[in-house]
A and B are shown apart, each in its own frame.
Chain A
Amino acid sequence: MKRSPLANAILWFVLIMGTAAFVFPLWWMAVVSLETPQRAEAAITGSAGISLFPPSPQFGNYADAVRETGSVPWMGFVDALSNSIVVTVLVV
């Protein structure tokens, strides 16, 4: 079965637009996760725009997030991860 050029164009249009719709929010989440708290707050409350690529990516945000899980630094994350793994293994 050979598709007509028009059908082919439509198909690619749908594929690309669909992928954008599905992936863009995730991309946006990734961008916000790398922003400074001020710029992120401003972006998500609508008082400022945000760039598609963070000008100064804050990779430390991720370390902070892991460290600040639970009440004991680092161990809270270890506990949470352990719980998830144990539950997953037991359920499967």
Chain B
Amino acid sequence: MSASPTSAARWIGTVLRTGLAVVAVLLVIAAFARVAYRTATAGEHAAGETVLTVMHWSGEGGQEEDKIVEDSLRAFEAANPGVRVKRLNPGDAGSFYTKLQTMMAAGEAPDVFYVGYERVANFASLDLLRPIDDFVAREYAARKAGDATALDLAAFYPQTVDAFRFDGRRVGTGALYGIPKDFTTVGFYYNKDLFRQAGLAFPTNAWTWDDYIAAARKLGQLPGITGSEFVTWPVMVRTYLRTEGCEAIDDNLEQIRVAEPNAVAALERLRAWRHGEENTLTSGKSKIATGASVFLGGKVGMAGPFGRWVVPSYRNIPKPGEPGGFEWDFAPLPRGGAEANCVLTVSWSIARHTEHPEESWKLVKWLTDAKSQAANARLGLAIPTMQSVAASDAFLDATLPPANNQGYLDAIPESVVVGWPADPTFEQILGSTMDQGLKTGDLTIPEAIAQFNEKWDAHVKFVPGGVNPRPVPWSLFAVIGLALAGGVLAAIAWLFLSGTRANGGRSNARSEERAGFLFASPWVIGFLVFMAFPILLSLVLSLTNWKGIGPLSGADWVGADNYAQLLARDGRFHTAFKVTLYYAAIAVPGGQFLALLAAVVMMQKVRGIAFFRAAWYLPSVLAGVGVSILWRWIFDSEGGLINRTLEAVGIAGPEWFGKDAAVFGAPAFAIMSFWLVGGSMMVYLAGLQQIPRDLYEAAEIDGAGPVRRFFRVTLPMLSPVILFNLIMAVIGSFQVFTQAFVMTGGEPGDLTRFYVLYLFNKAFELYDMGYASAMAWILLAIVLALTAVILRTSARVVYYESLRK
């Protein structure tokens, strides 16, 4: 800085700084006011009013679906004075179910909410949904008596209604747990322009798998085009098998039947299409491409099996002739030896313990009536469940693609409900093992089936607490907890008093001590209530089978069973542990090496070094989810930044989260972690700057070169910082969650299912909070053990300047 700033520049600087400070303060005040206002008005309603809480999601439907529900609810309020409806929309289906679970566990379930067909068995068996047969019977009677507004179940497609029946074991019969709001059958979306280019006839509604694969092969011969995307979600695999005349699961929903020869043959065919041929099927790829988006780019001939839900986003495809535009349509699932399709549907259901069953039923009726269904149908997202609405212009809109709306309806007669066992673990294990057979291809079909059987067997045979588990001794734990809390308070009180005595009663010191304790007390109380209590509770929960979705009183005492199962038999847990270790083995040493290297570079005296420091640190200040989405693009096996760069220098990049995930999946996350070394780098930089210059000067005078100076001066002086960073990195590497959750969801198979991600799956998707708590405590033990080992082994190497005798 040669020229000193002029007074004008200084003045501008002051004004800017003051302005910023004022804006910041105003923002803080506004934020507090907003939150306070929201909290104050949240519970507000007039006396005598009934308040219903409604929860739904709007994943693919976005803002428009949100608005349709909102309008429908406001109309309901207008038609029903005295009833107020509070609406919650946590976002996509995943966030919806997490929120629903939390609310149910707290005993504050919404009155009316969406339930997907795949969750009915699970929710009904957990006694979370109210059977509505009594209401339906009443409507039936009213209809017979001439009430035209009464609900008529016969007006709905029967499969969609049956999807919400559950008899305690199977979906499809038994008590009714919801009224379907809409549904879809599945099939393939195809690019008409590419079909024309390849000289292919368009698929008919009666096409076969032979037609399908012949078309895919021919499309794959076009330059730069892949024949088809074929998603292998468990429900699609099951439906595919049904088109070949096989059932994937036995009638009692206890075993898979895919080991039967014709089923294995059908799956082997699918596997060969993907892994034995070039460009016929896309290769699974990262999570981003399991969705329908690959189709949008116009480089894939067909995509599916998808339902109607992709239509709103496909309608954004520009018209033919415009840049990136093409013509597309829908064809139902091809036939094999048999015709088959599936019904995927969502209902409006009522909570088991709602305080307002009558009003809730009225609302469910309202939300599934012809008017609401027509409004929803215009969105294009799904098919109305009411047959008359599906046959109306609201659904068969000729002005918008796809032209083949009839294709969805034609598939209905041969469609069935795909019922899953009440335990969602079944579907998850089936999905992950089939992934390894069909998507990554690192297992053959018989191997994948064997893996499934092994994992499912280990899960089914695990009955925590035995057949007649004992109740949780809550009172005992309450006594222990109170005793602990009392002990802590007593200790504080003792400190308080003894401290006063020790100071010989000097009033100055005493009041200072008192003030100290008073200032610390909010933190101590906060710690006891918000930290110590939940931590100890989770220890107790790890000894129970609490599901995490009902009240705590529903839990049974299982002793150490969760721990025994985890350590001895849970193969998925062992995989998750291995994946995490693999990641840590690369991320920790690699990250520390790079961080130290970066810090040394940042120590150089170069013009503009502050800019470089900021640039290298920048990624570390960004939020995890955004960064994860960014890296999902970067690792995309075809268009991703890394693979394109590798391609440019003549290397074929791996399919990071596809077929090469066993080797490259965890390292991909490690590479991503290198991008975030800025934090460690800053700590090292601070450590480097602490090293006294005279040590270097002395070393230089003694004739030490730069390399020698680094190893003999820098490293020893830096060793405490290295130790600190190392321990933090080890802890951090066992806590990988956000990246994996956003980028891959643990897929393919379980190859990127990190420890904490599996813990999350167990707690919030498979509803086994006790088991997840046990995992958390094992994680704590692992991290403690690793830290202890590092501290022990480092004692000789680490040099503490300040501890020098």
A25 and B634 in contact, given A71-B66, A71-B70 (Cβ under 8 angstroms)? yes
User: Is residue B786 contacting chain A, with contact meaning CB distance below 8 A?
Assistant: no
User: Is there a chain A Cβ closer than 8 Å to B81's Cβ?
Assistant: no
A86 within 8 A of B: yes
B566 at the interface (CB under 8 A from A): no
Q: Across the interface, do A29 and B630 meet the contact criterion of CB distance under 8 Å?
A: yes
* A-contacting 9-mer, from B254-262, B418-426, B434-442, B614-622: B614-622
Contact A85:B297 (CB < 8 A) given known A23-B615, A38-B317, A45-B639 = no
A45 touches B294 (CB 8 A): yes
A78 (CB) vs chain B CBs: closest residue: B34
Chain B residue at minimal CB-CB distance from A14: B601
Contact of A22 among B619, B637, B639 (CB under 8 A): B619
Given contacts A45-B294, A46-B640, contact A25 B675 (CB under 8 A): yes
A28-72 to B contact mask, C-beta < 8 Å, 1/0? 110010000111011111111000000000000000000010010
Which are the 10 A-B pairs with shortest beta-carbon distances?
A46-B639, A47-B297, A46-B638, A85-B31, A47-B299, A82-B31, A42-B297, A82-B34, A44-B633, A41-B296
Chain B residue contacts of A85, Cβ below 8 A:
27-28, 31-32
In the complex, what's the smallest C-beta–C-beta distance from A3 to chain B, in angstroms?
Answer: 8
Residue A9, interface by CB 8 Å = no
Q: Does B639 lie within 8 Å of A43, measured CB to CB?
A: yes
Q: Are A15 and B289 in contact (CB under 8 A)?
A: no
Task: List 25 A-B residue pairs with CB atoms under 8 Å apart, sorted by A's residue number.
Answer: A15-B606, A19-B612, A22-B615, A22-B618, A23-B618, A25-B641, A26-B618, A26-B622, A37-B316, A38-B324, A39-B324, A42-B298, A43-B639, A45-B297, A47-B299, A47-B300, A48-B639, A68-B63, A71-B70, A71-B87, A79-B38, A83-B31, A85-B27, A85-B32, A89-B28
Partner among A11, A43, A46 whose Cβ is within 8 Å of the Cβ of B606: A11
Name the residue on A nearest B88 (C-beta). Answer: A71
B616-A19 in contact (CB<8A): yes
Q: Which A residue sits closest to B677, measured CB to CB?
A: A22
CA distance A82 to B297 in the complex (A): 38
- B738 at the A/B interface (Cβ < 8 Å)? no
The answer to whether B363 has its CB under 8 Å from any CB of chain A is no
Residues of B within 8 A of A19 (CB): 612, 615-616
Question: A88 to nearest B CB, angstroms?
Answer: 9
Chain B residues whose CB sits within 8 angstroms of the CB of A71 once the complex forms: 66, 70, 87, 89
Q: For residue B640, which residues in chain A have a CB less than 8 angstroms away from its CB? A: 46
Minimum CB distance partner of B67 in chain A: A71
Chain B residues closer than 8 Å to A44, beta-carbon distance: 288, 293, 633, 636, 639
A82 to B630, CA, bound (A): 26
Max chain A Cβ within 10 angstroms of own Cβ: one of B63, B601, B604: B604
Q: How many B residues touch the partner, as a band?
A: 35 or more
Is B493 engaged at the interface, CB distance under 8 Å to the other chain? no
Residues of A within 8 A of B633 (CB): 28, 32, 44
Known: A26-B622, A42-B324, A89-B28. 19 other contacts (CB 8 A): A3-B604, A11-B606, A15-B601, A15-B612, A19-B615, A22-B616, A24-B641, A28-B630, A28-B641, A38-B296, A42-B296, A43-B639, A45-B288, A45-B297, A46-B640, A47-B298, A47-B638, A47-B639, A82-B32
Chain A nearest CB, measured from B311 CB (Å): 15
B630 contacts which chain A residues (CB < 8 A)?
25-26, 28-29
Complex Cα spacing A44 to B294, Å: 9
B70 to chain A, nearest CB (A): 7
Given A71-B89, A78-B34, A86-B35: A46 and B70 within 8 A (CB)? Answer: no
Flag if A18 contacts B601 (CB, 8 Å): yes
Question: What chain A residues lie within 8 Å of B300 (beta carbons)?
Answer: 47
Interface residue B555 (Cβ < 8 Å from any Cβ of A): no
Beta-carbon nearest neighbor of A42 in chain B: B297
Within the assembled complex, what's the spacing in Å between the Cα atoms of A67 and B27? 19
Give which listed residue, A12, A28, A45, A78, contacts B293 with CB less than 8 A: A45
For A89, the chain B residues whose CB sits under 8 A away are: 28, 31-32
List A contacts of B691 (CB < 8 A): none
Q: How far is the CA of A27 from the CA of B633 in the complex (A)?
A: 13
Inside 8 A of A86's CB, which chain B residues have their CB? 31-32, 35
Task: Give complex CA distance A47, B640 in Å.
Answer: 10
A19–B638 CA distance with the chains assembled, in angstroms: 25
Chain B residues near A23: list those with CB within 8 A.
615, 618
**Inter-subunit contact A45/B296 (CB<8 Å):** yes
The listed residue (B35, B63, B318, B639) touching A38 by CB distance below 8 A is B318
Assess whether B491 is interfacial by the CB under 8 Å rule: no
A61 to chain B, nearest CB (A): 14
* Contact, CB under 8 Å: A11 / B604: yes
**Interface residue? B30 (CB, 8 A):** yes
> Which A residues are CB-close (under 8 A) to B318?
38
**A83: which B residues are within 8 A, CB to CB?**
31, 35
Kindly report which residue of chain A lies nearest to residue B700, judged by CB atoms: A1
Q: Provide the residues of chain B in CB contact with A68, threshold 8 Å.
A: 62-63
In the complex, how many angstroms separate the beta carbon of B652 from the nearest chain A beta carbon?
14
CA distance A71 to B20 in the complex (A): 30
A24 CB to nearest B CB, Å: 8
Report yes or no: A82 in contact with B636, Cβ–Cβ below 8 A.
no
